[in-house]
Chains A and B, each alone.
Chain A
Amino acid sequence: MSSNGIRDRVAIVGMGCTPFGERWDKGVDDLLIDAAKDAIASAGVTLDDIDAFWLGTMTSGTSGITLAKPLKIDYKPVTRVENFCATGSEAFRNACYAVASGAYDLAMAIGVEKLKDTGYSGLTGIRPVGDGTDAALSSQPPSPSWPPPTPSGTGSIPRR
């Protein structure tokens, strides 16, 4: 049993970083695209050149779809990891091992968190809330008006 280093077996070839802030102007998808776009531009590669992805996020999405959907990287392996405040370094560490092991030539480690789309300040642990249009998809659970709409628009069900 031993822990072996991977020095000189992997290198960072590009990076991108969005501004940090409340970012009312950007959603999770936008932040991921912005960072990925800058990273591949600085490396001089395209998304197609990247063999595999490691996504770190605590509350901003579950599964690799969180990255695959905005980047349109169908058929590419995406692994989502989470380890509280070490989530970013977890994604980075796993991408490094993937290249060092020889499994992939080029991997992307990317981390995202959108804390200010929940409706509350601070670390609430609540996922960012979307624009509600996903509910229109027929494959989603039904999205009924419940309670039913009231003519008065007060949002309460008349009881008598």
Chain B
Amino acid sequence: MTAGIVSWGVYLPYWRLQRSAIGASLGGPSGRGSRSVASYDEDTTTMGVEASRRALRALDGPLPEDLFFSTPAPAYLDKTNATAIHGALELPDWAGAYDMVGSVRSSVGTLRAASAVAVDHRSVAVLSDLRTGLAGGPEERDSGDGAVALVFGGPGDAVVAHWVAHAGTTTEFLDRWRTPGEPDSKVWEERFGQEVYVPLATQAWADALKSAGVVATDVGHVAVVGLHTRAVAAVRSSLGVRPEALAADRAATVGNLGAAEAGAALADLLERAEPGSLLALVVVADGADVVLLRATDALPFARESRRVAGLADVAGLAASGGGDVPYTRFLTWRGELLREPPRRPDPERPGAPATWRSTPWKSGFEASDCRACGFRHLPPARVCLRCRTIDEMDRVRLADVGGRVATFTIDRLAFSMSPPLIGAVVDFDGGGRYRCEMTDADPDAVATGTRVEMSFRRLNTAKGVHNYFWKARPIHAPHVADDEGGNA
């Protein structure tokens, strides 16, 4: 057998924009349901980190040695964004990290690249998208933000779905486009795109089935994704699969995740497939791609491990958003509504040498434990606060360790893009105390003892430098053990 998927992680932001809120502000109908909204402190890189952490949480064995990051909305150009994800995951320094930037279609290339190298070693494909659009338009209303990570492994790995076949068709034509810096994509008349897309998808579908030696009715589950809604619907009805094989999308509650949609669809297939069933992903974007996968007997065990690790499935995530963001706040977060800035100095850009030296702390959230007395320091220190022993420290990663709020303050005067600002002192399970900002939190629900997890966020952007660091966010999953934490 070939390589295949060994794990997956899906991240959908906490916030939802109710579509009715758009119409309530702008007038006129604006549809039903909601879309997912990345918070002001999130971008495609931070969401990619969160998806990747979820993909690795319930996975044993070695870390991926290649990371491929795909997004049409990169936080940086020229500078690689995948290295920030590499840093936050603390992948080994010999592991590669590459951006595959640009279009929805690049997500398929990312999956193929990750699958190809997985014959040799584990790899991870990270698909992330943050989608806006002009106020009141369909792009804004029907899109969603999110990220998905898929870990691939080789023949000897605990593969949950083997890569069976890929077939694609490519044509240069004008369906949708956006020049760099523009928030909104333009589209040609939809009927034209449908006319071009359907034959391309039909050809790719036939080629993939032929290559795998199967017929359409052998396919157990199929998902068709793409931003061209009419073409996707037409392709779905033309595949010749059993009706029950067609997977539902998440347009009603989350919206179309753009480049991340293919990953979300794959994750959903993996969460519902029976061992042995044939899975198909069809991506309609500047051509068509079909990927066929075969679920293995390891899939139910992986799902059980994920359940134990507290990972919700895609359907659950899509159905349970966190808070509703007011439309004016959404517009502010996206830079579409210019607001009076705070009468405060601009934030300082982080220094390159200092950031480089503190990568294990800033990217990996590593504390230091004193070998002499056991005291845990956040940020890591060279001199022990308790016994003043010098340079006798062990590093310990706390990014993936939960904690509880020891005390907190709700600051209604401080400027925040998501007021009120909540500052918390967090005691980590197993020791360590740190002051940090809380994010994705309902101020009325925060209490002493609230369970939190760390989340990789963008604190600010100064002189074009994104300042990435960790914040605490509440978790609601039940935990068996609640260690007191802190330093005794």
Is the CB of B480 closer than 8 A to any CB of chain A?
Answer: no
- Whether A147 pairs with B335 at a CB distance below 8 angstroms is yes
Closest residue on chain A to residue B361 by CB atoms: A133
Q: Which residue of A72, A128, A147, A149 is within 8 Å of B354 (Cβ)?
A: A128
Contact B40 A148 (CB under 8 A): yes
Contact B43 A153 (CB under 8 A): yes
In the complex, the answer to whether A130 meets B183 with C-beta atoms within 8 Å is no
Contact with B along A143-160 (1 / 0, CB 8 A): 111111111111111110
- Which B residue's beta carbon lies closest to that of A130? B354
Does residue A24 face the partner (Cβ distance < 8 Å to B)? yes
Cβ of A105 within 8 Å of any chain B Cβ, yes or no, is no
Query: B25 interface residue, CB < 8 Å from A?
Result: no
Query: Which of the candidate stretches A2-10, A81-89, A114-122 sits at the interface with the other chain?
Result: A114-122
The DSSP consensus for interface residues of chain A is loop
Q: Which A103-119 residues have C-beta < 8 A from chain B?
A: 116-119
The residue of chain B having its C-beta at the shortest distance from the C-beta of A141 within the complex is B344
Check B435–A133 contact: CB distance below 8 A.
Answer: no
Bound Cα distance A84, B374 (Å): 41
CB of A11 within 8 A of chain B? Answer: no
Assuming the A-B contacts A138-B421, A148-B333, are A133 and B349 also in contact, with contact meaning beta carbons closer than 8 angstroms in the complex?
no
B460 close to A72 (CB less than 8 A): no
**Is A33 in the interface zone, CB < 8 Å from B?**
yes
Q: A73: which B residues are within 8 A, CB to CB?
A: 388
User: Which one of B334, B357, B390, B391 contacts A27 once the chains associate, using CB atoms below 8 Å?
Assistant: B357
Is B381 among interface residues, defined by CB-CB distance under 8 A? yes
Task: Determine if B458 and A145 form an interchain contact, defined as CB atoms under 8 angstroms apart.
Answer: yes
Which residues of A sit under 8 angstroms from B301, Cβ to Cβ? none
| Contact A131:B358 (CB < 8 A) given known A117-B351, A150-B183 | yes
Q: When A132-B469, A139-B435 are in contact, do A148 and B73 touch as well, CB less than 8 Å?
A: no
Pick from A133, A143, A150: contact of B335, CB below 8 A. Answer: A150
- CB pair B335–A72 under 8 Å, yes or no, is no
Chain A residues lying within 8 Å of B459, measured Cβ to Cβ, are 132, 135-136, 143, 145
CB-contact partner of A145 in B358, B437, B460, under 8 A:
B460
Docked CA distance A152–B347 (Å): 21
Give the Cβ gap from B28 to chain A, nearest Cβ, in Å.
20
Contact A129 B351 (CB under 8 A): yes
Q: Which of A10-29 contact B (CB under 8 A)?
A: 24-27, 29
Given the known interface contacts A24-B353, A138-B435, A145-B460, the answer about A72 and B383 at a Cβ–Cβ threshold of 8 Å is yes
Q: Are A145 and B350 in contact (CB under 8 A)?
A: no
Q: How far is the CB of B331 from chain A (nearest CB, A)?
A: 10
Task: Report the bound CA distance from A139 to B467 in whole Å.
Answer: 18
Residues of chain A within 8 A (CB-CB) of B192 are: none
* Extra A-B contacts (14), CB below 8 Å, given A24-B353, A149-B43, A151-B73: A72-B385, A129-B350, A132-B350, A132-B362, A136-B469, A137-B435, A144-B347, A146-B341, A149-B40, A151-B334, A152-B73, A152-B182, A154-B181, A156-B181
Show 11 residue pairs from A and B whose CB-CB distance is below 8 angstroms, ordered by the A residue.
Answer: A27-B357, A72-B388, A132-B354, A138-B421, A142-B416, A144-B415, A146-B342, A150-B183, A154-B181, A157-B338, A158-B335
